[in-house]
Amino acid sequence: MPRTVRDVVFVDGVRTPFGKAGPKGIYHETRADDLVVKAIRELLRRNPDLDPAKIDEVAIAATTQIGDQGLTLGRTAGILAGLPQSVPGYSIDRMCAGALTAVTAVAGGVAFGAYDVALAGGVEHMGRHPMGEGVDPNPRFVSEKMVDESALFMGMTAENLHDRYPAITKLRADEYAVRSQEKAAKAYADGKIQQDLVPISVRNTNAEVGETGWGLVTSDEPMRPGTTLENLAGLKTPFRTHGRVTAGNAAGLNDGATAAIIASEDFARENNLPVKMRLVAYSFAGVEPEVMGYGPIPATEKALAQAGLTIDDIGLFEINEAFAVQVLAFLEHYGIADDDARVNQYGGAIAFGHPLASSGVRLMTQLARQFEEQPHVRYGLTTMCVGFGMGATVVWENPHFNAEGDSK
């Protein structure tokens, strides 16, 4: 019996505030799975018309799937969050695009008719589980020259991308980073970010005085709103002597979690759930691992072709800022100005942080908020580079689009 592909929508998304990884970070004493649980519970609280028993799947991504990020997170976090035991779940790993892949994976199930509604998200506790912990890359990668050794180190791949785009100087990268911090600070000041944050109670120990206390985390820890070009100019370039990539023009090492509700549009309407975005197309692409940051370019070309759109049809961009050079390479390729108003209107990962597998849904929640505020925009996209040479792009349609406004 032939099946009809169903329209898939982004119902809602939330995230924890992002923290700095390490002993001084806000989540040093907090479990990774507990961050996911908080996000799922908040989604259910915000959407009381969603019967938890109707949830067909829970897909949660993590890059380092060991310890409190192991044990099939989608299943275990669902049970911990109080979902009925009849709700299944699983884990996903596509490094930085983990949560994005969780969304597209369940979206495929919704479109096919296997699911009506699912939860998708990701978590990364880089303080507990540094990237690459416990992995054993096959020595053939380097010994047989399948990839250059730099492919195993993300910062080195960013330096390689600078080499490929010599016009993208360190100054341009630093200027972009300053704008990211400024836009994020403005978004906070305007109340654009807090609406989708889940307050997290945390236990911290003051090692100096031997005291333990509890606090409530309500904002992102990595942000540096007062950043200036002068501040960034003197930072070290740890990946290459006299290089161009610094801690100031790249995302840091972070902890955090995200979660979203993905459903068929019919199910959402019938169950009185919001429809914040409509999925148009998605695509993944592989590139040379040595220039991992190039990945969003071919992924976007594929997704736009699927959608029958061009880059000129896109009115809003949410590009993950793993490194400033990676965003700038994307903009350079498409002839978009470094400071184009359509790009990362609320700032990006350079300011907020990038807890690897969780970041894809952060991009989506920010785009959904912008769609709501800007009904003259019809299409937007979320895109990111992915470790070991990949890119991922999702094209979204604004359900609030008003055709009487700007056709973009």
Catalytic choice (125, 129, 162, 354): 354
**Which of the four pLDDT bands, split at 50, 70 and 90, describes residue 207?**
very low
Separation of first and last alpha carbons in the chain: 38
d(CA 198, CA 206): 24
**Can you list the alpha helix ranges (DSSP code H) found in 197-321?**
229-233, 265-270, 296-307
Q: Are strands 58-61 and 117-125 parallel, antiparallel or unpaired?
A: parallel
Could you read off the pLDDT of 90-116 as tens digits, one per residue?
999 999 999 999 999 999 999 999 999
Q: Residue 407: pLDDT above 50? A: no
Residue tagged 């790009």 (tokens) = 343
- pLDDT tens string 43-65: 999 999 999 999 999 999 999 99
pLDDT at 203: 86
**Complete DSSP assignment for 348-385:** -HHHH---GGGHHHHHHHHHHHHHHH-TT--EEEEEEE
pLDDT band at 403 (very low <50, low <70, confident <90, very high): low
131, 151, 133: which is closest to 141 by C-alpha? 151
In this prediction, residue 238 carries a pLDDT of 95
The residues that bridge with 318 in the sheet, in sequence order, are: 382
The residue type at 224: R
Q: Which one of 96, 125, 129, 162 is the catalytic residue?
A: 96
Q: Does 408 have pLDDT greater than 50?
A: no
> 333 catalytic, yes or no?
no
Q: What pLDDT score does 333 carry? A: 98
Retrieve residue 147's tokens.
């990839």
Q: What's residue 405's pLDDT?
A: 53
| Catalytic annotation present for 96 | yes
Model confidence at 331, in pLDDT bands (50, 70, 90)? very high
153-204 pLDDT per residue, tens: 999 999 999 999 999 999 999 999 999 999 999 999 999 999 999 999 998 7
Residue appearing with tokens 């880059």: 311
287 SS3 class: coil
Q: What is the pLDDT of residue 209?
A: 41
pLDDT of residue 355: 98
With cut-offs at 50, 70 and 90, classify the pLDDT of residue 205.
low
Q: Which residues contact 371 (CB under 8 A, 6 or more apart)?
A: 276, 277, 316, 377, 380, 396, 398, 399, 400
280 vs 208, higher pLDDT: 280
pLDDT of residue 208: 47
> Nearest-CA neighbor of 383 among 291, 316, 317, 310?
317
Report pTM. 0.96
Arithmetic mean of pLDDT, 138-162: 92
For 365, list phi and psi in degrees, rounded to 5: -65, -35
- The residue-averaged pLDDT of 368-397 equals 97
Beta bridge partners of 14: 259
Q: Which two tokens stand for residue 122?
A: 């990701």
| Per-residue model confidence (pLDDT) at position 2 | 67
* pLDDT over 80 at 316, yes or no: yes
162 as an active site residue: the answer is no
CA dist 396 and 9 (Å) reads 9
The pLDDT, as a whole number, for residue 66 is 95
Residue 404 has pLDDT above 70, yes or no: no
Mean pLDDT of 231-260: 96
211 band by pLDDT with thresholds 50, 70 and 90: low
CA distances from 112 to 49, 163, 394 (A): 24, 43, 18
Q: For residue 4, what pLDDT band results from cuts at 50, 70 and 90?
A: confident
d(CA 382, CA 367): 8
Helix (H, G, I), strand (E, B) or coil at 121: strand
User: What is the distance between the alpha carbons of residues 118 and 152, in angstroms, rounded to a whole number?
Assistant: 33
Coil vs helix vs strand at 81? coil
Residues 6+ apart with CB under 8 A from 166: none
- Catalytic annotation, pick one of 125, 129, 162, 385: 385
Closest residue by Cα to residue 315 from 363, 370, 377, 376: 377
Report whether pLDDT(123) > 90.
yes
Rounded to the nearest integer, the mean pLDDT of the chain is 95
What is the DSSP annotation of 140-151?
HHHHTTSS-GGG
Bridge partners of residue 13, in order along the sequence: 260
Domain 147-194+280-396 fold = Peroxisomal Thiolase; Chain A, domain 1 (3.40.47)
For residues 29 and 32, give the distance between their C-alpha atoms in angstroms, rounded to a whole number. Answer: 10
